[in-house]
Structures are given as C-alpha cells and as structure tokens.
Structure 1
Amino acid sequence: MTTRIHIPEGLAEGATLDLPENAFRHLVQVLRLREGDPFTAFDGRGGEYDAVLIEISKRSANVGILAHHAVERESPLDLTLAQCVSKGDRMDFTVQKAVELGITRIVPLISGRSVVRLDEERWEKKLEHWRGIVVSACEQSGRTAVPTVEVPIALPTWLDDESARGTRLTLDPDAPHSLRELPAPQGPVTLLVGPEGGLSEMELKHAHAAGFIGMRMGPRVLRTETAGVAALAALQSKWGDWN
C-alpha cells in the first residue's frame, strides 16, 4: 500500500491544491518525498484518490489529485465506543486500536473512578490530540471514513442524555451473559467500557437503567486499555466484517 494522507477538503479529480501543514510535514519533512512522487489521498467522504507532488518549496507543496477509486473498507457494524478516560498513553492506545478495528464513533467519558482530571483548556488539547491519533490510524489502516471523537462528558450526564444508540452493551465480569449468548443487533451498537478499577456498582446500575446489557469477557480481569480493544475485536468477529 502506498503512503496514505488525509486531506479534509478540496479533493476532486483534476484538482490542484496546497498540502495542509500536517500533511506537508509528514510527506516532505518526514518521508522525504520529492516532486513527482505519488501517494494516496482521502477526505473521509468515501473512496480515495491517486495523488502526486507537483511543486515543493521550503514550507509548502502543491499536489495534483488524479483518479478516484471507490474502495470501501468500512465495517457494516455501526459501532460506538464509550470509553472512560484512562491515564497516560493507555487512552491513546485504545483510540488508535479502536480506529483500526472499525469504530464509527468514540465518546470519552469521565467516571467516578477516572484517574484523569483536567480543566477545560487541557481537555480541549486532549481532544485535539485524540483526533490526531484517529486521522493517523485511518491513514495507516486504509480506512476511508474518519471516526468522530466527541467532547469528553461525565458518565452520568451521558447516560441521562440517552445518547447511546441501538444495542447497548457494557463489560461486567459478573454479568449472566457472554457475547455468544446475545442476539444479533438490528442497528448500531454502543459499547461502554469502564476506567481503571472498573465501573462502580452505582454506575453499573445507572447503565442498566439506561438500557445497557452486561456482557462477560471471560474469566480473567482485563485492563481498561485491553478490555475495550478485545471487546471490539469480538464484536467485529461475531457481527461485523470478520465473520
């Protein structure tokens, strides 16, 4: 697969445009591409384009957009990951792998046991950082749609807003059902994953009242950054494009 770059707007066959700053830095300064070198561009609206570097200056580059290819690499499963924010690079790992596993939407949640506590400005920086990870993961994995990352929200507020869609699942080691026993969804799926230490008993009750079904993930206790990724893989295997 050739180098893939996300260019959020202006893509059309025959177009010539300036590379966005991030794309210029990656293609020219990191990968050392030169004038005439090809790459693949996508805008998240479906498919991807052949592209070529036309003219490179010290701080900018022009590119030509060539043929469009209507490739489709998105999962048929409309899957939202509602992930309680974890500490350090654990959340980065979860976001990256969730994109690779075909997630549609990511909702960062702040729960009672969440270790990460930030002010509004630092949350905005975190959100920008996670959205950058999403774009990079799309470039690497071949995805043609860019998942959304919503503004972090308190878990109780999110549950009360009923923003979860379709079949609602949450990981619970004491749940009576495993994934194998659950019926296939007829629409979107929302997966709720707790933080380090898991969801509290009160939070689980709140989730169940909001329509979430508890789901076991085997006899072993998984870390928060492992649990969500493992569950997403299982969901894709059972109901998505791995079956």
Structure 2
Amino acid sequence: MRNPTHNVSRLFIDEDLSRNVVPIGSREAHYLGHVLRLKQGDRVVVFNGRGEERLAAISSLAKRRPELTITANLEPLAEPKLDLILIQALVKGEAMDTIVQKAAELGVRTLYAVKTDFSVIKLDDERVPRRVAHWNKVAQSACEQSGRHRPPEISVAVSLAQCLDRLPPRGIRIVCQPDSTTDPARLDREAESVSVLVGPEGGLSETDLDIIDNAGFTRTGLGPRVLRADTAAIAACSLAQIIWGDFQ
C-alpha cells in the first residue's frame, strides 16, 4: 500500500523491518521523543534504504528498550530512472553538508567527494570515515524529509583520475565551467546515466581540466552568473533531472 498520509514523520533505521517489533537506537528514540515530540502510540513511517518501508506505532521510547511495532507494509517511492552521479570537489564543511543534503533530495544515486588542486579542505585517512559517516547521516535525514527511500552512496575518492575511472563507461559526462556557453540540453536526450562534476570554491586548475577532458567530459555552463560551488551542484543536478530525469 502507498503511504496513507503525508503528515506522518519518516525515520531511517538500519534494521530488518520484516519483524513485528523493531528496536531503535537511543539517537532515534531521542529524535522521536524530544525533537518531533511524539509519544507512545503515535505513528511513524520507517525505512531502511534496502526496499523495506513500513508504517509503525511507537511502542516505547524508554532508554533501556525503545522499539516500534510494525502495523502495515508500504510501497517505497520509486527511485529515479536516471543514474545521476555527482562528482563534487571538496568544499568547506557547511557547503559540503548542503550539497549532500540537496543531492539526496534531487535523486543523486552516487556522490564522490574528491580532492582537486584548489580544494581548500584536506582529508587525511583518519578523518575520511568520520566525514563519510556524517554525510550519510545528512543524506538519511534528507530522505526522511523528502520521501526518498534510498540515500545516495557516498565515498571519498583517492584522486580525481581514479574517481573518473569508476564512472559508467557509457552516458553523459558534464563539468560545470563558468566560461562555457555549451547548453547541456543539446546533448544526447536519451542518456540513462549522467555524471556531473563540480569544482571547489577556487575553481578547477588546468591540470584538473586536462584530466577531466581526457575522461570525456563536456564543459557546460549554468547561465551568465558565477555560482558558488554548492549552488552550482544544486543547479546542475536539477538541470540533469529536468533534461534526462523525472522533473518532466
């Protein structure tokens, strides 16, 4: 069945939802009880990003054993048919959080955070797992709000060249460049995979662009104004969904 109401809060939990009673963590219990102000008996939609979405009632928010009781199966919102991939050069914390949040809302399937020559942010090996875990939480929250079921897959690429080697061999590849007048709407309209690359606050270096050009990317513009990196990512992903995705 489809979600019977639009005013029921949604909650991502990494649990098997095939059971009648589902435990939740203290973080989720705190969110339900203290942020959403819900109480025992109130309804919530729970989903796990693996195809299971359920309507549940809050059984208990007690610290020792918070849990939900499943009351009905729900049909998750279908994922966009477009395989939308965002390659985002690392930017400062809040801007990166915004990009992850909006990418989840806009149907991005895979997000690569990658270091480029002019990236201000540097991530050492110890920080990478913590940042990815944080971004996953941001994406999950965005899915809770937007109705999307499956958060994007997020990873930090070792290098720009290695990141581009991971992309599907076929499909549209575009890089956002302020000085380009190429209209992405003139590219192949039948693409099933679109990779969008957005540079950092300081733009992309000539070395970066050489790597990107050699990987088969088309330089495209996003209008006459110079956009911030986070704005460019949102605009480019929205444009991709308009041209090739489900914003039609």
What is the TM-score when the length of structure 2 is the normalising length?
0.91
Q: 1:148: which partner in 2?
A: 153
Candidates 16, 22, 39, aligned match of 1:10: 16
Which runs of no fewer than 5 residues in structure 1 stay unpaired?
none
For 1:58 and 1:44, locate their aligned partners in 2 and report how far apart those are by CA, in whole Å.
25
Residues 133-172 of structure 1 mapped to structure 2, 5 A cutoff: 133-159=138-164, 162-165=165-168, 166-172=171-177
**Cα offset for 1:98?**
1.0
**Cα offset for 1:90?**
0.6
**Cα offset for 1:59?**
4.4
For 2:100 and 2:234, locate their aligned partners in 1 and report how far apart those are by CA, in whole Å.
9
- Identical-pair percentage: 38
**Cα offset for 1:47?**
5.6
For the 8 Å contact 1:47–1:72, the answer to whether it is kept is no
Q: 1:128: which partner in 2?
A: 133
Q: Deviations over 1:72-100 (max 9, x none)?
A: 24222110101001013011111101111
Q: How many residues align?
A: 240
For 2:119 and 2:149, locate their aligned partners in 1 and report how far apart those are by CA, in whole Å.
32
Letter in 1 for 2:115: I
Q: 2:53: which partner in 1?
A: 48
* Stretch moving more, 102-111 or 71-80: 71-80
The yes-or-no answer on 1:87 pairing with 2:89 is: no
The yes-or-no answer on 1:194 pairing with 2:177 is: no
**Cα offset for 1:30?**
2.2
Q: Deviations over 1:158-214 (max 9, x none)?
A: 23xx11223211112333521121112432111111111111122112111111111
Q: What secondary structure is seen at the aligned counterpart in 2 of 1:115?
A: coil
Letter in 2 for 1:116: I
**Cα offset for 1:32?**
2.7
For 2:58 and 2:230, locate their aligned partners in 1 and report how far apart those are by CA, in whole Å.
38
What is the TM-score when the length of structure 1 is the normalising length?
0.92
**Cα offset for 1:107?**
0.4
Residues 210-221 of structure 1 mapped to structure 2, 5 A cutoff: 210-221=215-226
Q: 1:110: which partner in 2?
A: 115
Which runs of no fewer than 5 residues in structure 2 stay unpaired?
1-5
- Provide the aligned C-alpha RMSD in A: 1.6
**Cα offset for 1:61?**
1.0
For 1:62 and 1:176, locate their aligned partners in 2 and report how far apart those are by CA, in whole Å.
55
